[in-house]
Structure 1
Amino acid sequence: MGYRLEIEAFNAILGDLRRNFRVYAPVKMKGKGAFAGTDLVAYGEINKFEEIVFNQRSAYSAKEIVFKPVETMFYFTENEYQQPAVQSQNILIFARPCDINAYKRLDEIFINNGPFKDSSYQQQREKVKFILMECGEGFDSCFCVATGTNVTDDYALLVRPTAGFVQCQVKDPELKPYFNGLNENIEITPRFIEKNQYTPRLPQNINNDVFNSPLWQEYTSRCTGCGRCNFVCPTCSCFTMQDIFYRDNENCGERRRVWASCMVDGFSEMAGGHAFRNNQGERMRFKVMHKFYDFHKRFGYHMCVGCGRCDHICPEYISITKCIEKLD
């Protein structure tokens, strides 16, 4: 059972939720698009239901709420260091199934990948609950059905907009009190997309010949190494560290974790001037093999969730789906 509420009634509940949660959703940012006069759909904190963008894919994923593009790990002086205060509020994220499943992949990397856990990520991740946004027909470059990320049961609340009303299913008992006094008057269960506009053939039998295939050289000539595909990807987790020294006291500063990209020149540089993957073809091979071979070999499922953001944002129109279909 579930609830059918007027938008004003749901906004009242949202106001109550915001006393205990930071609430994030895809929102339209005026004038922030890649081209002059265009808008950007990305994640931001919301106050009202009307701010949420349901009919467009967000350019960037929900991962940046927990795994931030730039994050201060600690402050330091000559004699000591101190970690920044941790936000005490819990987090609610409006997200589609692919982005919810992407967090499962990030959990494998930051929390479940050996004896050491990333405490910064884990502290924030433990505060997160998801509000499920359904996909109808998906978007032109999505292939979530092929990767099995079109469905999820990891959500606290299902929200479905319908002609001036909001239909809700409350799955998490912690959120149930926010709906006290309301009658459960509808039957509602999640609707998951069953067929994408395009379904790629995922690689099944990758062997050593693939690593030496001439197909990678195509990307040496095409890819510009801008790294956009990594930065919009909901499962890319690479980062670098930067020490920032303050001008007024060069012995004090902060250490920051900053998103990095395996497709950008210099990512694989090592001490002594050594470097791996010196051209874009080798970098493309590394990225694709990580998404569809290495991660799958370790955890039993593909790292890629088929959101299609990388295809959509590439300035050279490089398609990961066309690439992986050549691997079998």
Structure 2
Amino acid sequence: MNISVIGCGRWGSFLAWYADRLHHTVTLYGRDGSKRFAELKETRSNGLVTLGDSVQLTSDLSRAVQNAQILIISIAAQSLRMLMQQLSVLDLNDKAIVLCMKGLEADTGNRLTQIVEQYVPKTTTVSIWVGPGHVQDFTAGIPNCMVIDSRSPEAKEMLVQAFSSDLIRFYYGSDLIGNEVGAAAKNVIGIAAGMLDGLNKTALKGALMARGTREVARLIKAMGGSEITAYGLSHLGDYQATIFSEYSHNRRFGEAFVRGEPYGELAEGVATTTALLRLSELYGVEMPICRAVDAVVNQKAEPNRVLTDLFLRSLKKEF
């Protein structure tokens, strides 16, 4: 199949590498002026993956879209609306758009599929590809399980068939709301986990996992999804890769933040915290972990006090 990947970060580049490994015809799009894309054009490598000569590289968005049957988008969540404005003037009819990214729009609380659907024709299907997995593990041959979800059963079937391999086993999602919110919210839990690491309170990660999943499950249910989805691969199933892994940007950001150290990589959970608090107010769901992360990161509250209050000072029933 003809597949174009929009976004040349570590995950987008991996997806181009992965699709090429499955013998699809692959084009990878990157912006002019992007240092990452310039490096890929010069060396075919970003230090994590090396792209074969069969992968076409382009900075022409129209060219990337034109012949693609499947359009994979893997960019920063807060940049999605701007990209969709650019894509909306191109012919997207009958294409399958797959969002391989995790986040919510900070300004509106919108799910990413909601943003895409504002700009595409009715013949375009929109799906998500979420769940655990780091590039470093996949390229080392370590497999994992992931989820593809969509309102279109036909799109789910087509995508699972197109991308299943010995590296990734896909499950068919049945709760688009729950899988989108769960996948985005796990990054906020990842930041909280990093804060616990940075404060030498790593033992509290068990409590974080238990309470974090319940918190997100309540929101998913209030939004019309199934609360059991929070216990699936998009959220709880992604905790190892987000809360414990050395490769997790969100965990590493939280750890660096409480230690007062700079951290230059994108941590999607920061903007997602803002979006989740917006949804928390809209749906009347209390989200104490999310509020604690916001207090530390955005309101400059003292991390040790906030996290101690969160886990150790309230007396209440567990369920």
Q: Which TM class, normalised by the smaller chain length? A: under 0.3
Give the structure with the higher percent strand.
1
| TM score, norm. by length of structure 1 | 0.27
State which structure, 1 or 2, has the greater radius of gyration over its C-alpha atoms. Answer: 1
Structure with the largest fraction of helix: 2
TM-score normalised to structure 2 length: 0.28
Higher RCO (Cα < 8 Å, 6 or more apart): 1
